[in-house]
C-alpha cells in the first residue's frame, strides 16, 4: 500500500498514518519494521531495484561478446519489456529525484557498468571494438533504450515522431553505425 501511495502522492504527500490506515494495520506495527517513513521509502526503492536487477538477467541470452552488439533491435525491445515490467521502480526513482535529489536511488545506479559486468560475466569482459570496454558500451546501449522506453511507455511520448519498431530500429542503426559527418563516406 505504501508503494501505491508514494507513486500517486510522492513522498512528502503521504504520511505514515495514511499508509497504516490504507494497509489496515496499526501505525505502531509499521514502526515495528521501520524507524519512520524515509526508511520505509528506502526499503521500497531497494526492494524494487533488486527485483529490477534480477529481471535484467533476462537480457543475458541477448548479449555475446563475440557478436556484441549483435541484434540491437531484439535487445532494445527486451529492454522496453523490462521498463514496462518495472515501471513502479522507475517511477519511484523519479519521486526520489524530485524529492531527495536521487539520494536513495543513486547507490543502485553508481557503477552500472560494473554491475552489468558482474551480471554478464565473461560476456562483457576483454577489449571491445575501438578499445571501448564492452560493459561500458552495453551500459550506454541500455541507458539509451531505457530512456527511450521511459518516454514512450511511461509518458506516452513519441520522441522521434515514429512508432516503437521504427524508433528501435533507428536507435539500433545509430548505435551499430555510429555517427558520421554527412559528407564522409
Query: Does the pLDDT value for residue 45 go beyond 80?
Result: yes
DSSP letter string, 76-106: HHHHHHHHHHTHHHHHHHHHHHHHHTTTTTH
For 144, the grid coordinates are: 539509451
Percent of the chain with pLDDT over 90: 66
Q: Could you report how far apart the first and last alpha carbons of the chain are, in Å?
A: 57
SS3 call for 163? coil
Which domains occur in the chain, in start order? 38-177 (1.10.357)
DSSP letter string, 23-52: HTS-HHHHHHH-SSHHHHHHHHHHHHHHHH
Q: Please state the pTM of the whole predicted model.
A: 0.85
93, 143, 83, 90: which is closest to 113 by C-alpha?
Answer: 143
Q: Which of 21-35, 43-57, 110-124 has the lowest mean pLDDT?
A: 110-124
**Each residue's pLDDT tens digit, 102-124:** 999 999 999 999 998 888 887 77
For residues 122 and 111, the answer to whether their CB atoms sit within 8 Å is: no
Percent of the chain with pLDDT over 70: 89
Question: What is the reported pLDDT for 40?
Answer: 95
Over residues 149-176, the mean pLDDT reads 93
Amino acid at each position: 500500500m505504501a508503494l501505491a501511495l508514494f507513486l500517486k502522492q510522492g513522498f512528502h504527500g503521504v504520511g505514515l498514518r495514511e499508509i497504516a490506515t490504507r494497509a489496515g494495520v496499526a501505525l505502531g506495527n509499521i514502526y515495528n519494521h521501520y524507524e519512520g517513513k524515509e526508511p520505509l521509502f528506502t526499503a521500497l526503492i531497494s526492494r524494487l531495484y533488486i527485483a529490477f536487477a534480477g529481471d535484467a538477467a533476462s537480457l543475458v541470452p541477448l548479449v555475446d561478446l563475440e557478436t556484441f552488439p549483435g541484434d540491437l533491435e531484439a535487445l532494445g525491445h527486451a529492454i522496453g519489456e523490462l521498463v514496462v515490467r518495472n515501471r513502479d521502480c522507475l517511477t519511484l526513482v523519479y519521486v526520489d529525484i524530485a524529492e531527495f535529489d536521487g539520494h536513495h536511488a543513486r547507490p543502485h545506479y553508481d557503477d552500472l557498468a560494473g554491475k552489468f559486468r558482474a551480471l554478464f560475466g565473461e560476456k562483457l569482459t576483454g577489449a571491445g571494438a575501438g578499445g571501448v570496454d564492452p560493459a561500458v558500451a552495453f551500459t550506454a546501449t541500455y541507458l539509451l533504450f531505457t530512456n527511450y522506453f521511459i518516454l514512450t511507455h511511461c509518458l506516452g511520448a513519441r520522441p522521434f515522431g515514429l512508432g516503437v519498431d521504427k524508433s528501435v530500429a533507428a536507435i539500433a542503426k545509430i548505435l551499430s553505425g555510429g555517427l558520421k559527418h554527412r559528407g564522409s563516406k
